[in-house]
Structure 1
Amino acid sequence: MTPSPRPASRRTVLTAFAAAATAGAPLLGQLAAAAPAAAAADPGEYASNTALYKDPALVEGTSYGRRFKRHPAADSDLTAKAAYPRTAILALHGGGIEIGTSELALGIAGYDPGAVTDKAEPILPSTHDYFLFEGLLSSGNKALHVTSRNCDDHVALSLAASHLNVLSLHGCQYDQLGMPEPMEPMVWPPSSDPRLAVVGGLNAEFRAALVREIGAAGIPVVDAFDSRYLNRLQDFNGSHVTNPCNLTMLRKGAQIEMTTELRQSLFGDSGSRSRRAATWDASGGRFEAFRDACRRAIATVEATQPIL
């Protein structure tokens, strides 16, 4: 879940940005210094990824893991423009934290969603850069949740800062959204089947493309900024300026909050990390439909972003 700040709530509104990086500092240090200062952590959460990584009770590779793919890019031709990656896919709460987001991120990026520990191989003609933070505990992975606005992982931030677009994937619970009983067919999911995707982030064009494509795939979806839902979904709209989805070259991006029921429906068996990896292609085509809808939306947005 990636809530946004709201007055008179437990969420603290960001009031200032960190100072610009010191000249000559290492690249990742500059990125960290140039990023806006983190807001207060939600109760019971780590204040940042840095705080989590420094906890001696946690061991990387056992308690949590990080995976990323950054494609090499070079232009040695003085007469032509080379292609350059424009979109990165993030799963900041993957593994057992918000189930299904790791596999979906790999899939949307064009890689094998079944790669649990091995190197993920591409299975689609085009690929995107990606970053995954994954909870690996046998239970209690929710304790590893760092609110997105407080993410300071250097790889995640550097990927965001070097791309025109970021699509960040998150999980939520249907009853957190405050949705009423069905009011409009194909808009409100019935309470007996609360599958819903909530599209947020500050890039309105990206949001519109995602809503259009996900809806066309037969998946209930709403724009968190739609006036009909804005008040209900303001904690899920991904509007915070330090949310990595908005720390792109354009200072705007997109995220999708997916209810537990929606994520579960995209797998033959969502009960564990290994089962999700083994059954992502056994959902009756629902995983592929969601994946491909997101990829079509990305292609639509990228088509208007020529390399200058």
Structure 2
Amino acid sequence: MHFDSKNKKGMPMKKAVFVLGSLLAFTFSNIPSVSAAEDVYANYEELAAHHQLGEDYDITTQSRSNDVIILGIHGGRIETGTSEIVKAVAQDDHSYYLFEANIFVDSNQDGRNDLHVTSTHFDEPTAIKMTAQKNKVVSIHGAAGSSEKIVYMGGLNTHMKNIISDKLSQAGFRVEPAPPELAGTSPNNICNKGRTLKGVQLEITRGLRDVLRADTEEGRAQLAKFAGAIRAGISASLSHPDGRTYDFGSSNFSYGFWLNDGKEFYLTGDDYLIGVQSPVNPKQTGKIRFEVYDRNNRLVLSKTDEAVGHTTFKHTLSGLATGYYKIKVVNVSGNASWIYGGLHY
């Protein structure tokens, strides 16, 4: 579940009581009840310093060559039932990533597992790298609402989100647009860190998750139907709904490489490069430059991004005269790095 902190402003008591009552009446009748509590840990590094992998939590992955990944960053005892849904959707043919808590720690006394790191701060290196390689990213989360059976749809990939929503509705599940605090529209949300920087986030209420995880014939049938609808939506969606794209990537490079083995692209000033990059050691600085050369092997455009750890990039080719060009990716920092992205042209 993704939370955004809210600031409180003082007001006269009588007015505050009236306004609060009105807001609560509206809120509870329209959106799921969520806690505004802050995470105990700001990122994965902090969590890992206090908890033991393999004991307090597990990370499980499945890698496949297609362009799909199913994420479950709040699995196990964090958002109950999401692990089962992730595996049911992924089956044997889609990649998946699961972070699962084996313990429940609640120092805040608010029913929130301390091993919860919100989607915009979740930066476990394996999760980031696996996600960066895929065009279709679907992140499974749990929302509050024990008496409600609703799927709240969010994320920046509106093309795939709409198709999955339709498939779920056709299968008989109640689907609604996610409220702002569950919308998954932040570019920092891990669901939006695939090659296209656009993913889909499903927030599933506790009531529906309880149905889907029930170890009964009906529960298994409902889970199969639910997962099948999501899989059908993924399959029906396009990897590149915004047009033609050349996907590129390297899992580990220290110098440089040519896109498309140095073959030319026909480019215009409206084209762009987009994706995710990171040093293999996320504590190091990564500086990667894109060099655009014309048919005379003359450097005509250079675009660079630098950051400590992983970062997303979008380089427009504005100012480039329409024509044929080659593009080279250069590791300026020299620190072993990975990069995954697409040339939209």
TM (norm. structure 1) is 0.64
What is the match of residue 30 of structure 1?
Answer: none
> Which 5+ residue runs of structure 1 have no aligned equivalent?
11-40, 72-83, 111-121, 176-192, 225-232, 269-278
Cα shift readout 1:17-62 (whole Å, capped 9, x = no counterpart):
xxxxxxxxxxxxxxxxxxxxxxxx962421001110111xx22111
Distance 1:252 1:138, change over 3 A: closer
Relative distance call for 1:240 and 1:42 in structure 2 (3 A) is farther
| Alignment partner, residue 209 of structure 2 | 263
Q: Which residue of 1 aligns with 2:119?
A: 148
Residues 31-46 of structure 1: pairs in structure 2 closer than 5 A:
43-46=38-41
Contact 1:86 1:302 in 2 (8 A): no
The equivalent of 2:166 in structure 1 is 212
Q: 2:328 — aligned with what?
A: none
Q: Unpaired runs of 5+ in structure 2?
A: 10-35, 107-111, 247-345
CA contact (8 A) 2:5 2:38 kept: no
2:113 match: secondary structure: helix
Residue number in structure 1 paired with 2:132 = 161
What is aligned with 2:235? 299
Question: How far is 1:165 from its partner?
Answer: 1.4
Contact 2:39–2:118, Cα closer than 8 Å, also in 1: no
Pairwise CA distance, 1:70: 1.5
Deviation at 1:206, TM superposition (A): 1.1
Deviation, structure 1 residue 294 = 0.5
Q: CA RMSD in A?
A: 2.5
Structure 2 matches for 1:109-188, cutoff 5 A? 109-110=90-91, 122=92, 127-137=93-103, 140=106, 142-174=113-145
For residue 194 of structure 1, what is the aligned residue in structure 2?
Answer: 148
1:208–1:223 CA contact under 8 A, matched in 2? no
Aligned length: 213
Give the whole-Å Cα distance in 1 for the aligned partners of 2:37 and 2:167: 33
Structure 1 match to 2:69: 88
Asked if the contact 1:281–1:288 (Cα under 8 Å) also holds between the matched residues in 2, the reply is no
- Report the alpha carbon displacement of residue 138 of structure 1 after superposing the two structures with TM: 5.8
Corresponding residue number in structure 2 for 1:203:
157
Q: Deviations over 1:155-214 (max 9, x none)?
A: 111111111111000001028xxxxxxxxxxxxxxxxx4110001000111110111011
Q: Partners of 2:220 and 2:101 in 1: how far apart?
A: 27
Once the two structures are TM-superposed, the CA of residue 223 in structure 1 deviates from its matched residue by: 2.3
Give the SS at the match of 1:209: helix
Aligned partners of 1:9, 1:294: CA distance in 2, in Å?
38
CA offset at residue 284 of structure 1? 5.5
Measured after TM superposition, the shift of residue 285 of structure 1 is 1.2
Distance 1:143 1:256 in 2: 21
CA distance in 2, matches of 1:144, 1:6: 18
Q: Tell whether 2:61 aligns with 1:68.
A: yes
Aligned with residue 287 of structure 1, among 217, 220, 223: 223
Distance 1:201 1:241 in 2: 9
Aligned to 1:49: 44
Q: CA–CA distance in 2 between the matches of 1:253 and 1:87? A: 10
- CA displacement at 1:9 relative to structure 2: 7.1
Matched to 1:167, the amino acid is V
Q: Structure 1 or 2: larger strand share?
A: 2
**Sequence identity (%):** 28
Alpha-carbon separation, structure 2, partners of 1:98 and 1:240: 21
1-side partners of 2:240 and 2:195: how far apart?
A: 15
**One-letter amino acid of the counterpart of residue 42, structure 2:** A
